[in-house]
Amino acid sequence: MGKSKLYERRFVAFLDILGFRGLVNDPSRHVFFAGFFAAINKFCDMDLRGIHLTDLAVTSISDSIVISVPRRRSSCFHKLTSVVKVLTSMALKEGILLRGAIAEGELYHRDNIVFGPALVEAYELQENCAIYPRCIVRPEVLASGLATYRGKWVQFEYEDFRKDADGFYYVDYLPGTFKMCGARGDILRSHDSGDGLCGIEDVRELIAGANPSGDRVRAKYEWLRSYYNDTVSELGEKQKCDFSKLLLTDEECGDPAVRFGQSDV
C-alpha cells in the first residue's frame, strides 16, 4: 500500500493582531471583532476582485489568523496577498494593527486544522523579524510567488509589495485601505474600486498622533507614519496633485497608542 502524502507545498501567511488582549477587553471593539472573524470565515466562499478563493484555507486561532493556498495553483500568491491586504485594511480602518509574515513550504491545512514546517517559519518570521505593522516575505519566497502570476494578474506583480530598509519585502496594503475607508457599502467588494483618494484623510486621522508610551510602541507608529507619508507622496505624483498637506508631521501628532487603545504592541 502506498504511503499517503500528509503535507502539500503551500504559501502561508501568519497574521497577528497587535494588542489583542487589551482590545478584547474593550466592549466597544466587540462588534468589530464579531464582524471581522465572520468575514474571515466567508473568504473561501466568495470572489475578491474577480479572484476565485475557493482553494484558499483560512483558520483563526485566538489573536492569530493563518491563510494558505496551494503552490500549484495559477496566481495563487496573488490570491493570498489580496486577502492579506483586505484583512489588514479592515483592521486598520478600525484602528487595529496586524503584523505578519508569508512563507512557502510543506503544510497541512484542512478543515480548520493547520500545522507543518511552513507555518513554523511564518510564525517565527512574524514574531522575530516583522516588528512593525507589516506582513513580510523573504526575497526568495517573493520570487517564487511572483512566478505564479498569470494572465491579467501579471500587472499586480509590482503593486502588491514594497521593499523595506531591512531588506524584507512587505504587502503594500495602504492604497487599499484608502479605498476601503473612502468606500460606501460593501467594504469587502469595494477594496480595490475607485482611486481611494477620499479615504486618505480618514487613514491620516487614524494614524495621527505622537509620543506613544514605550519605545516599542513608538517605533511601530513611527514606521506606520513613514509608510503612510511615502504612500501619499507617491499617490500625489501619480495623480499629479499636491498632497503635501496630507502628510503627517512630528508637530501635529498626538498619542497614537492611546487613540488606538494599545499600550503594549
Distance separating alpha carbons of residues 26 and 139, to the nearest angstrom? 38
> Quick check: 130 and 78 in contact, CB under 8 A?
no
What's phi and psi for 9, nearest 5 deg?
Answer: -80, 125
Ordered domains of the chain (ranges, CATH): 8-259 (3.30.70.1230)
The pLDDT value recorded for residue 170 is 97
The pLDDT value recorded for residue 43 is 63
Residues 6+ apart with CB under 8 A from 9: 70, 71, 72, 104, 105, 106, 107
The pLDDT value recorded for residue 16 is 95
Type of residue at 191: H
The pLDDT value recorded for residue 205 is 84
DSSP string, 10-27: EEEEEEEETTHHHHHT-G
Write down the pTM of the prediction: 0.84
Residue in 124, 116, 137, 130 with CA at minimum distance from that of residue 59? 116
The pLDDT value recorded for residue 183 is 52
The pLDDT value recorded for residue 1 is 44
Alpha helices, DSSP H, located in 164-199 = 174-182, 187-190
Residue-wise pLDDT tens for the chain (265 aa)?
Answer: 444 589 999 999 999 998 887 777 778 778 888 877 777 776 655 544 555 566 889 898 888 999 999 998 777 898 899 889 989 998 888 888 999 999 999 999 998 899 999 999 999 999 999 999 999 999 999 999 988 886 555 555 567 899 999 999 999 999 888 887 765 444 444 444 445 566 788 888 888 854 556 678 778 888 999 999 999 999 888 888 888 889 998 766 654 444 444 545 5
Q: For the chain, how long is the longest CA-to-CA vector?
A: 71
Distance separating alpha carbons of residues 74 and 151, to the nearest angstrom? 9
Residue in 98, 96, 102, 82 with CA at minimum distance from that of residue 188? 82
Write down how long the chain is.
265
**Residue keyed to cell 501619480:** 238
